[in-house]
Amino acid sequence: MSLEAHGLDWRAGGRLILDQVSLQVPPGELMGLLGPNGSGKSTLLRLFAGLARPARGEVLLDGAPLARRSRRDIARRIALVEQHATTDTDISVLESVRLGRTPHRSAISGWSANDQRAVDSALDQVGLADKCARRWHTLSGGERQRVQIARALAQQPSELLLDEPTNHLDIQHQLELLELVRRLPLTCVMAIHDLNLAAMFCDTLAVLDGGRLVAFGAPEEVLTPALIERVYGVRALVSRSTPHRRPHVQYLPLTPSSLDQEPPCEPST
């Protein structure tokens, strides 16, 4: 068992952001959360992380309501990697990752061998063991995301939530990061924009549209031209990609003839 959403409603400023969302996160798998901007992906992740209480419905962890657990208790089970973590603290990689041990330590307990093992293993998994002393503000975008993932792993969670972790990364770093997430032996829920990357790496996909869950299942069941047109308003061809037999989405232009013409004037450099 893992995380479950039961009829979740969430409102902000009188607008319904999540509307009766129910789903069961498959344990031990990587679930991709798809949907256009403003479809409620981040909100659902926040509810799963216990950062906000649903207006209606409930989130269950192992069959028991998340709301009944203490913050610290939740933090030992569920870790969140935000879309764009920032700090103005002059913090090092090691110090950032050590923050992940916070829920496992009391106000006065010392740094235990167990804490050290968790941090070492987290740094190893993301390949940052040799960059411990580097300062946060000297890191690249991809390195920062890996630090946040290492911090989350140091929490030793059973479920990991990631909010568009590949945003603002170049394609090599996107692939690196997704391969890293896929290797993790955890239940992962990841909001992601790129349909092809989602199809390549996720075991299951859930699609949100206007706060409603409109599709849920294996990538090849979910990613159909009809769904893409309905949710994104875009026509697309879906084929099986040659290298890995995963669904591959090709988008068709919004106006049929726009690609036949000369490209629109771009300032020459």
Residue 259 neighbours by CB distance under 10 Å: 9
In one-letter notation, the amino acid at residue 39 is S
Closest approach of Cβ 51 to other proteins, in Å?
A: 6
The residue from 2, 43, 96, 158 that contacts other proteins (CB under 8 A) is: 96
Instruction: Identify whether the C-beta of residue 14 lies closer than 8 Å to the C-beta of residue 38.
Output: no
Describe the strand order of the beta sheet including 187-191 as a list of residue ranges.
Answer: 78-81, 159-163, 187-191, 30-34, 204-209, 212-217
| Residue number, 142 or 157, with CB nearest to other proteins | 157
Closest approach of Cβ 3 to other proteins, in Å?
A: 14
Closest approach of Cβ 75 to other proteins, in Å?
A: 3
Closest approach of Cβ 183 to other proteins, in Å?
A: 22
Closest approach of Cβ 90 to other proteins, in Å?
A: 6
| Chain centre to alpha carbon of residue 149 | 11
DSSP-assigned letters across all residues of 34-71: E-STTSSHHHHHHHHTTSS--SEEEEEETTEEGGGS-H
Per CB under 8 A, which region of 15-23, 94-102, 123-131, 177-185 contacts other proteins?
94-102
| Residue number, 148 or 174, with CB nearest to other proteins | 148
Instruction: Identify whether the C-beta of residue 33 lies closer than 8 Å to the C-beta of residue 45.
Output: yes
Q: Which residues pair with 16 in a beta bridge?
A: 11
Per CB under 8 A, which region of 27-35, 42-50, 173-181, 210-218 contacts other proteins?
42-50
**Contact between 107 and other proteins per CB under 8 A:** yes
Residues 139-168 touching other proteins, rule: CB under 8 A, are: 148, 155
- 171-183 and 141-154 helices cross at what angle (nearest 10)? 10
**Contact between 88 and other proteins per CB under 8 A:** yes
Per CB under 8 A, which region of 28-36, 72-80, 197-205, 254-262 contacts other proteins?
72-80
Closest approach of Cβ 2 to other proteins, in Å?
A: 17
Residues 241-260 touching other proteins, rule: CB under 8 A, are: none
| Chain centre to alpha carbon of residue 53 | 19
In one-letter notation, the amino acid at residue 144 is R
**Contact between 137 and other proteins per CB under 8 A:** yes
Which residue is it, tokens 């006065």?
A: 108
> 187 is written with which tokens?
């239940």
Identify which of 221, 167, 226, 236 has the alpha carbon closest to the alpha carbon of residue 197: 167
Binding-residue total with other proteins (CB under 8 A): 35
Closest approach of Cβ 35 to other proteins, in Å?
A: 21
**Contact between 188 and other proteins per CB under 8 A:** no
- Which residues lie near other proteins (CB under 8 A)? 46, 49-51, 70-76, 78-80, 82, 85-92, 95-96, 99-100, 102-103, 105, 107-108, 137, 148, 155
